[in-house]
Amino acid sequence: MLNNFCFWFAALVALGASVLAVSRRNAVHGLLWLVLSLLAVAVLFFMLGAPFAAALEVIVYAGAIMVLFLFAVMMLHLGPAAQRQEAQWLAPGVWIAPGLLALGLAADLIAIARLAGDAPAGAGIIPPEAVGAALFGPYVIGVELASVLLLAGVVAAYHLGQRRDRSLGEGAGSG
């Protein structure tokens, strides 16, 4: 019973925090709800016997990526004017069509997921050693591709992040 309580509690926190994260007007409030949602999902990862994934979820998602978001929001420094703009954009009617479409998709996915049966998940721990052995065994090409992807991300972020005050060659390769 305690197991079920833990699952439902974490699941409800994740769902509620996600709903609040996508519906706030203030970007910082939305980010904080998103951090809560990610932490709740990390709890689920622990319960599912994936301690390595849970630690990465906390460190990389709730830590690094959210701090990146926070820095971007701070650099944009959106003031009260931005919130008035958001209030104007977020009239309640805006949510009707996307909400219905997302509900339809969710109903579809949930109907499929319920076919999956009641085999237990989280029966045992998958140790990080096994994950590492798989990562650098059969999936080593994926690791190389991920490193290329991250390098491309770094180069693109550097290029886009440059100030172009003396923009003689806007878009010139040297940047």
Among residue numbers 119 through 158, which ones bind another protein (CB under 8 A)?
119-126, 130-131, 133-135, 139, 142, 146, 149-150, 152-154, 156-157
Smallest gap from residue 169 Cβ to another protein (A): 15
**Residue numbers 27-86 binding another protein by CB under 8 A:** 27, 30-31, 34, 37-38, 41, 44-45, 47-50, 52-53, 56-57, 60-61, 64-65, 68-69, 72-73, 75-76, 78, 82, 86
| 164 burial level (CB within 10 Å; 0-12, 13-18, 19+) | exposed
Pick between residue 124 and residue 174 the one whose CB is nearest to another protein.
Answer: 124
Smallest gap from residue 23 Cβ to another protein (A): 8
**Element of type H or E holding 29:** helix 27-47
Pick between residue 22 and residue 169 the one whose CB is nearest to another protein.
Answer: 22
**Residue numbers 81-100 binding another protein by CB under 8 A:** 82, 86, 89-90, 94-95, 97-99
What are 61's two structure tokens? 């998602």
Taking alpha carbons only, the member of 31, 37, 32, 35 closest to residue 10 is 37
Backbone CA torsion sign across 40, 46, 48, 53: positive
Smallest gap from residue 173 Cβ to another protein (A): 15
Q: CA 108, CA 125: separation in Å to the nearest integer?
A: 31
Ranges assigned E (strand) in 22-100: none
Contact (CB, 8 A) for 54 and 46: yes
Pick between residue 120 and residue 174 the one whose CB is nearest to another protein.
Answer: 120
